[in-house]
Structure 1
């Protein structure tokens, strides 16, 4: 079937085409409603040296060079199953990512949280920041590091509100729309061809 014949078949079955497109629109709306939006929020955590390791009057930001390994150990501890489960407890559907910032060689960590609601994302991020400080202190206490020499976790940046992300919804809607339109056009072409074949087999007095 060439393009002209295909367009003529759509014109002949325009009522069916409208119905198929209306059904596709309904499926798109259903898909949009079925896939909930997600929220994202992030914060940056910088490890700071203990006061005992900084000369009197010294700038602490000039003594970050030796904290890279400490940040790697802390990231590994934060990504353990037990710590992650405690942070996500009570918030199904939420996800958390703790990693070193790849854009810098310093002891900078990024904490990213996504979830089904702004409240859940905010709660998980707050709990993660608390867990980072507690885990860092526990690791240093186990190693017998004096309190004045212990590394501290400083929240460097943090987003004031969560960001609404609709990407998943739009992807599902686009998939349903493309699939629905394609099936509608192919189905109408098939139905039109089938009906025309039947009409050709009827006596002339019964044809349209």
Structure 2
């Protein structure tokens, strides 16, 4: 029987994509499963699909480092349930994923029965996080919240600022006026409560830091 569920696996490691695929098929009968290996291909797929039930997201793959991919996705698709899959099992990494709105966090070291249980739990509407970590224990991270408040275009501009690009270069690449980019930069500074590009880029680098 077709469950009707649409699930996307976003991971650039073929072996782990295969493991997740097996877990999904064991957890849900008749699931419609799609796979991508970069943030760009994920965003393209999501733009073409409006009824995805669950996204399984690796934190580190082409186009994303650390939590930048999750933050961008939460800004673009706030109602899409996202479960983070990561090689990291550190408490602070799990808690940061919680703060940024993930509904679950599955360590890549999890055995198949745990993967299946986690997927079943999330699809039933509950959160799933490693044992001993309570979502309510996650401390507030003001900068993570501020970064999550950026619009998709503002986040893209901030990412390009972090690459050292000038307003003129960003305007050319995004095919908008330089005045529009200046307005975005001003809005970014206000939302992040920073005074200059250096401080804004540092804020983004903190979000991207760590091994995942």
TM-score after normalising by structure 2: 0.20
Q: Higher RCO, 1 or 2 (CA under 8 Å, sep at least 6)?
A: 1
Which structure: greater strand fraction? 1
**Larger gyration radius, structure 1 or structure 2:** 1
